[in-house]
A and B are shown apart, each in its own frame.
Chain A
């Protein structure tokens, strides 16, 4: 799995990534779309670490702005 931008968050990221990929392949792709509580908890830990690092690098605001202003992606199915 890929490294985190912030080395201090790599461990939290790896735990979350593993959880997510397991949930995605075992549940979500099989039609069980309910989010995993376990993954959400792991994500909170990872996110806290990552946001701190993004702020320290001075790129947090730039990213938040881009997330807000970018166009929405549609995923309506017309097949």
Chain B
């Protein structure tokens, strides 16, 4: 597992609102590639009071041509998302990993949400780990056919370069989506968010927001 990306970011909202937005973040105009989201399990650990949630997202793959020539058949991707919320200490940890590329290209994103020094804000630390284990797995036998004739290390390098730029792009979009949901929560509450999502009025919101979403990247 290779760590290849780490970034810090702050939302201009309190921790409870940010965690709520995390669960309500789909659909939003920046997540049109997310087809569905389902909850697989949800339980509270009676000893710690921590809430554990596992969700499954289906994302439509918009593979760049440079990757598609290696993996022509992948069009969609299942993402397993696990989160632990510690409301007492105001800390949320999340992990998202893609399932069906496993063994070919595995991307694991870990995030930690905590209140910032200014409690009106919330800090998010994102670490992305990346693994391409071509031919390292038995159950990947059939996929190996694609890669014969390509130098494994060369394929891996290509995947890593593409993975990295896509990751930045994806992270930026997911932040914008979160911010939009947070704005809705502040303006109209939970019912307002759901209503907006149901009516598909996001395009209007996107226009309102366009030109007014400067990045606030910490570094």
The answer to whether A63 touches B87, judged by C-beta atoms less than 8 angstroms apart, is no
B8 within 8 A of A: no
Q: Given contacts A75-B85, A75-B86, is CB(A21)–CB(B20) below 8 Å?
A: yes
Residues from chain B with Cβ under 8 Å of A6 in the complex: 38
Residues from chain A with Cβ under 8 Å of B51 in the complex: 24, 28, 33
Considering only CB atoms and an 8 Å cut-off, how many residues of chain A contact the other chain? 39
The answer to whether A3 touches B80, judged by C-beta atoms less than 8 angstroms apart, is no
Residues from chain A with Cβ under 8 Å of B37 in the complex: 2-4
Residues from chain A with Cβ under 8 Å of B92 in the complex: 75
The answer to whether A74 touches B93, judged by C-beta atoms less than 8 angstroms apart, is yes
Q: Given contacts A2-B27, A5-B56, A33-B49, is CB(A75)–CB(B91) below 8 Å?
A: yes
Partner of B102, one of A18, A24, A66: A66
Considering only CB atoms and an 8 Å cut-off, how many residues of chain B contact the other chain? 49
Interface string of A37-79 (1 = CB under 8 A from B): 0010001001100100000000100110011001101110101
B130 within 8 A of A: no
B194 within 8 A of A: yes
Residues from chain B with Cβ under 8 Å of A33 in the complex: 44, 49, 51, 87
The answer to whether A20 touches B42, judged by C-beta atoms less than 8 angstroms apart, is yes
Partner of A21, one of B24, B50, B89: B24
Residues from chain A with Cβ under 8 Å of B19 in the complex: 29
Q: Given contacts A66-B97, A66-B102, A75-B86, is CB(A21)–CB(B23) below 8 Å?
A: yes
User: Which residues between 34 and 83 of chain B lie within 8 Å of chain A, taking CB atoms?
Assistant: 34-40, 42-44, 48-51, 54, 56, 58, 78, 80, 82-83
Residues from chain A with Cβ under 8 Å of B110 in the complex: 73
Interface residue ranges, A against B (CB under 8 Å): 1-6, 9, 13, 16-18, 20-22, 24-25, 28-29, 31, 33-35, 39, 43, 46-47, 50, 59, 62-63, 66-67, 70-71, 73-75, 77, 79
Selected A-B contacts with CB under 8 Å, 15 pairs: A1-B197, A1-B198, A6-B38, A18-B194, A24-B51, A28-B51, A29-B16, A50-B40, A62-B78, A63-B56, A66-B80, A66-B102, A70-B82, A75-B50, A77-B91
